[in-house]
Structure 1
Amino acid sequence: MTEHSSGWRTTWALLVFMLVNFADKTVLGLAANPIMDDLGLTREEFGTASAAFFALFSVSALAVSYLTRTVRTTVLLLAMAMLWSAAQLPMLWTAAGFGTLVATRVLLGAAEGPAMPVATHHLHGWFEQRERTLPTAVLLTGAAAGVAVAAPTLTLVIDHFGWRWAFGAVGLAGLAWAAYWALRGAEGPYARRAEEGGTPEESVPYRRILLSGTWISAALGAFAAYWMLSANLTWMPDYLESVTGLSLHQAGILVTGAALANGVVLVGHGLLARRRPNPPSGADTGALMCLAAVAVSVFAVTDAVWLKVLLMLGPMALANVIMTVSQTACARIAPASQRGVVLGALAFVYALAGALSPWAVGRVVDTADSVAAGYRAAFLLASALLGLTGLLALWLLRPERDARRMADTARDRPRSATG
């Protein structure tokens, strides 16, 4: 098998990896109403359980990403998939209540925190820098595919077998992927090699990378997009049922459609970026984020269900482009040996949104005059975050410029210096 075909085989395997990853996250939002009814939870309590997923998410993302300097990413990915399943299956126990739910979400978050940076770092080991945008976009469609597949599938499981078996289903899916990866996972030819025509292999001080305009704007933009994504995963089904009056089945179809729209946007952007010699810069990315911010604002204030549907299936999905761009841009400015840590630091920042967003939305909705008013305020907050970070990306996201600066720094430093 050629190097190129092996790289794409790995891409598809990691796409499924991310699909299971986001199915794990989605199950809680899809089962929100039956869980709250069965366990007697308020929205704020349920939001706390959802936010518990991110209690160790950021710390784990950074810590495990640091291990990529010494531990093979194939081993790390296998260990994560095994832990995911171990965290999901206890909810099959009929006596498992709120405490078990919170504890297993904490464990799940610790296991899933490093998933994106480690998978991206592993994937980039199979492709040269100029070829990475499309496979990275495909990897990120695992998020969209996870929601698209999980929404109808887990809704059927919940309807026919109860919400506990939804947790069981995703746990078993994680075990199946782990079995495949144990047999077929392998590192690529660029896993440790210096970038061809890019940043030399000499190390750069981490402070120089993490204080660059590219890294800061990428991290904050990803934070805003992940805030919106986490809020939607947890609360969009409840919003569509409670505010717009859709049934659980209709809400599941719409969530699936929105996830597919996210995937189309990511892959479409990746295909367009492949035609360009350099990674996308802040001009187009920032503009797309600002457009998404406007769409979210309109979604928040309009009462027309048809318009909400159009916005979910179209311009709101543009916010996700920054997730691909942030990965490729931050990888561009880091030497190959430091790439995993830099991507882990990126995940550390944007994952904080996952910890804050579900709880904040639940709090805002519970304390508002009405459920509709609370959700309106929550969506307007998300819109403001997207708009502000989109403007920041327009100003500071310049991966090629900052990559040259990092290369100059590396050439000027002794090889023995540490970052």
Structure 2
Amino acid sequence: MTQHTTAWRTTWALLGFMLVNFADKAVMGLAAQPIMDDLGLTREEFGTASAAFFALFSVSALAVSYLTRKVRTTVLLLVLALLWAAAQLPMLWSAAGFGTLVATRVLLGAAEGPATPLATHHLHGWFGQRERTLPTAVLLTGAAAGVAVAAPTLTLVIDRFGWRWAFGVVGLAGLVWAGYWALRGAEGPYAPDSPDSPESKYAGTVLVPYRRILLSGTWLSAAFGAFAAYWMLSAGLTWMPDYLEEVAGLSLHQAGTVVTFAALANGVVLVGHGLLVHRRSRPPLGAGTGALMCLAAGAVALFALTDAVWLKVLLMLGPMALANIVITVAQTACARITPAPQRGVVLGALAFVYALAGVLSPLTVGRVVDAAATVEAGYRAAFLLSAVLLAVTGLLAVWRLRPERDGRRLADGRPDADRPSWALDAAPEATSGPGTAFRP
């Protein structure tokens, strides 16, 4: 089997990894109503259980980013998949209640926090720099595809076997993937060496104080924008099925179908945006991304205010999906302003900020809905809050998201540095001797 074939086999395997990852996330939202009915939970209590998923999410992402210096990513990915299964299968036990639900969501979040960066890191070990765009796009579609596959499948499972078996199915899927990976997973030929090694291509790179990077306009606007988008994403995963049933009047099957197509729309938007950016050498990150966020904010506000179900569905399948673009752009922009050896920590800090939305959003929405005079009024207020967050951070992105400018300033303090920040990355097969300075 050729290296190219093995590389793409690894890509499809990691796509499966991401499918399981996001199916794990979606199960709570899809089973929201039967869980609350069976366990006697209020929406605030259910929101607490959903928010528990993110209790250790960002902390584990940072911790594992340091482990990659000592432990092969093949082993780390296997451990994560096994932990996912361990976190889901206990809910099959008929006596498992609210306490078990919260505990297992904490464990699942700790195991899923590092999933996306670790999978991307491993995938890039199989492709040279110029070949990474397409496989990375395939990997990232796993987020949308995972929800799209999970929604109809788990809805059927819930209908026929009960909500506990929805947890069982995703737990078993994690075990199946882990078994395959134990047999076929391997490190790629472009797996990076340790930047601490004297032989590393990054040896001698001039580092930038983290304080300067994290206080730059680009990092701050990227972090706040990703926070707002993740707020909307987390609220949707947790509460959208319940909203579609309780407010829009859809059946469980209809709600699952809408969630499926909305997830597919998210995937189309992300891939389409990625292909568009790939064709442009210098995309207008600040203005373009900020404008898309403001458009998404308007769509979310209209979604909250309109009574037309067809319009709500149409907004979910298009304009509202634009909010997710900033999560990808934020990572790209922060990578551009950061020296390669420091990139993992900076991106980990970015994940730490936007993952806070995963804690706050489900809990806040649950409290707002429970405190309102009616369920409909509560959800309207919650969605309008999301729209305000997207609009404010979108305007901030227009103003301050300037990776080219900030990359040059961080490099040498001069706005007319010789090389643009997008030229920072060295291809894995390239070499550079000691004394190489950080040139964005």
Q: What is the TM-score when the length of structure 2 is the normalising length?
A: 0.87
- How far apart, in 2, do the equivalents of 1:98 and 1:234 lie? 16
- Pairs within 5 Å for 1:110-189: 110-127=110-127, 132=132, 134-189=134-189
Alignment-mate amino acid for residue 38 of structure 1:
D
1:209 aligns with 2:218: no
CA contact (8 A) 1:118 1:344 kept: no
3-state SS in 2 of match to 1:246: coil
- How far apart, in 2, do the equivalents of 1:188 and 1:109 lie? 27
1:357 aligns with 2:357: no
CA contact (8 A) 1:130 1:277 kept: no
Alignment-mate amino acid for residue 376 of structure 2:
A
Deviation at 1:108, TM superposition (A): 0.6
Alignment-mate amino acid for residue 302 of structure 1:
T
3-state SS in 1 of match to 2:208: coil
The C-alpha deviation readout for 1:364-383, integer Å capped at 9, x for no partner, is 00000110010001001111
CA contact (8 A) 1:219 1:346 kept: yes
In the other structure, the counterpart of 1:11 is 11
Deviation at 1:191, TM superposition (A): 3.8
- How far apart, in 2, do the equivalents of 1:402 and 1:71 lie? 33
- Pairs within 5 Å for 1:222-301: 222-278=226-282, 281-301=285-305
3-state SS in 2 of match to 1:276: coil
Deviation at 1:335, TM superposition (A): 3.3
Deviation at 1:107, TM superposition (A): 0.6
Alignment-mate amino acid for residue 281 of structure 1:
L
- Relative to its length, the structure with more helix (as a share) is 1
Deviation at 1:91, TM superposition (A): 0.5
Distance change >3 Å, CA 198–CA 402, structure 1 → 2? farther
- How far apart, in 2, do the equivalents of 1:259 and 1:393 lie? 25
1:372 aligns with 2:376: yes
Task: For structure 2, list consecutive stretches of 5 or more residues without a partner in the other structure.
Answer: 196-200, 414-423, 425-433
3-state SS in 2 of match to 1:178: helix
- How far apart, in 2, do the equivalents of 1:134 and 1:287 lie? 26
Alignment-mate amino acid for residue 308 of structure 1:
K
3-state SS in 2 of match to 1:55: coil
- How far apart, in 2, do the equivalents of 1:207 and 1:370 lie? 46
Distance change >3 Å, CA 389–CA 135, structure 1 → 2? farther
In the other structure, the counterpart of 1:94 is 94
Distance change >3 Å, CA 313–CA 247, structure 1 → 2? same
The C-alpha deviation readout for 1:313-350, integer Å capped at 9, x for no partner, is 01101111112212222233333333322222211111
In the other structure, the counterpart of 1:65 is 65
Deviation at 1:415, TM superposition (A): 8.5
CA contact (8 A) 2:205 2:436 kept: no
Deviation at 1:55, TM superposition (A): 1.2
Distance change >3 Å, CA 353–CA 319, structure 1 → 2? same
- How far apart, in 2, do the equivalents of 1:216 and 1:9 lie? 37
Distance change >3 Å, CA 175–CA 276, structure 1 → 2? same
- How far apart, in 1, do the equivalents of 2:356 and 2:153 lie? 29
Q: Which moved more, 1:149-158 or 1:284-293?
A: 284-293
Deviation at 1:8, TM superposition (A): 4.2
- How far apart, in 1, do the equivalents of 2:80 and 2:127 lie? 23
Task: For structure 1, list consecutive stretches of 5 or more residues without a partner in the other structure.
Answer: none
The C-alpha deviation readout for 1:124-178, integer Å capped at 9, x for no partner, is 4445666655544433221111110000000111111111111011011111222
- How far apart, in 1, do the equivalents of 2:386 and 2:128 lie? 35
CA contact (8 A) 2:298 2:387 kept: yes
- How far apart, in 1, do the equivalents of 2:288 and 2:133 lie? 15
CA contact (8 A) 1:243 1:371 kept: yes
1:391 aligns with 2:395: yes
What is the RMSD of the two structures over their aligned residues, measured on CA atoms? 2.7
- How far apart, in 1, do the equivalents of 2:129 and 2:356 lie? 28
CA contact (8 A) 2:368 2:378 kept: yes
Q: Which moved more, 1:105-114 or 1:58-67?
A: 58-67
- How far apart, in 1, do the equivalents of 2:229 and 2:137 lie? 15
- How far apart, in 2, do the equivalents of 1:227 and 1:393 lie? 16
In the other structure, the counterpart of 1:108 is 108
In the other structure, the counterpart of 2:406 is 402
CA contact (8 A) 1:73 1:187 kept: yes
**Rg larger in 1 or in 2?**
2
Distance change >3 Å, CA 267–CA 50, structure 1 → 2? same
Deviation at 1:50, TM superposition (A): 0.7
Distance change >3 Å, CA 155–CA 351, structure 1 → 2? same
CA contact (8 A) 1:51 1:354 kept: yes
Deviation at 1:40, TM superposition (A): 0.7
- How far apart, in 2, do the equivalents of 1:123 and 1:78 lie? 14
Alignment-mate amino acid for residue 56 of structure 2:
L
3-state SS in 2 of match to 1:95: coil
Q: What is the TM-score when the length of structure 1 is the normalising length?
A: 0.91
Alignment-mate amino acid for residue 293 of structure 1:
A
Q: Which moved more, 1:251-260 or 1:282-291?
A: 282-291
